[in-house]
Amino acid sequence: MLTDMSLLVPNIDEMKQVNSFIKSIDKKIEVNNQINDNLEKMAQAIFKQWFIDFEFPNEDGEPYKSSNGEMIESELGMIPKEWELGCIGDYVKVKSGFAFKSAWWQENGIPVIKIKDISNNTINFNDISYVSEDKIDSAKDFIVNAGDLVIAMTGATIGKFAIVPPRKSNVLVNQRVGKFFLGENPLNRLGFIYCLLCREEVYNQIVSRGDGSAQPNISPSNIESIKIILPRDEVIIKFNNLVTSIFEKIIRNVEECNKLTDLRDILLPKLMSGEIRV
């Protein structure tokens, strides 16, 4: 009978200590998320100033447009002289992830990012799927590292994107998750494309290109062909250099949040059972 079972229940003081400890972890996670939200807004504000309002620094360090910088007509409106119309693919290439076989999935091994794992502009590893290490050679083009950028290309979350946080092991990308190929040091080129994808007009184009079927779907070429105003290379490089430290802080905070979440989930049942004490 259930009524005859005895349970080990922590006393009130111990419960309060456990609750206080868990709340302190949750509070730190919340603070980190708030900091990241502010950091992202900062990067987007600089992006808007430079590439929407065209007030990037000219040769004299003055705001270009308000300092009577020359503007020319384009299909997307007036743009600074020597800038041009281009597309996302002129800046970065996109490929859909590797088609892992269903029989390959297992409980541990090398984590594989699926569409469901893209959440709040980062990757949720709590319910990640795995394949064995011998599958890395087959999917070597779809290894992602800290600072890489991925995007959902199918389903209700189409157009949602995320920065890959640091992990101790390799991480792979599943099919229908797009990888932006930013090079060996993705953080050096992350800022421009990340802030571009945050623009509502760009996101709407991605979503609209996936419409027309019961299951929204977009291809890498659909993303690459989206028209954008393409600044001179040196302006993009200056912008990326300026915001790299912002994204480094964002990634560090996400990494800390992931570690704190893992710590909380490991310690909570042990604290509640009395196996360890605060």
DSSP string, 7-48: -----HHHHHHHHHHHHHHHHHHHHHHHHHHHHHHHHHHHHI
> With 60 as the cut, is the pLDDT of residue 3 above it?
no
Q: What tens digit of pLDDT does each residue of 163-209 get?
A: 999 988 899 999 999 999 999 999 999 999 999 999 999 999 999 98
What is the residue-averaged pLDDT of the chain? 90
Domains of the chain listed by start with CATH number: 86-230 (3.90.220.20)
**How confident is the model over 59-82, as pLDDT tens digits?**
999 999 999 999 999 999 999 999
Strand partners, 172: 112, 143
What pLDDT digit, counting tens, does each position of 110-143 carry? 999 999 999 888 898 988 999 999 999 999 999 9
User: Reduced to 3 states, what is the DSSP secondary structure of residue 65?
Assistant: helix
Q: Given this model, what pLDDT does residue 41 score? A: 97
Tell me the average pLDDT across 148-164.
Answer: 94
- Report which of 208, 224, 1 is spatially closest to residue 96, judged by C-alpha positions: 224
Is the per-residue pLDDT at 1 higher than 70? no
- The answer to whether residues 220 and 94 touch, using CB atoms and an 8 Å cutoff, is yes
Dig out the tokens for 208 from the structure: 């609209």
Q: Are 139 and 109 in contact (CB under 8 A)?
A: no
Q: What is the pLDDT of residue 132?
A: 95
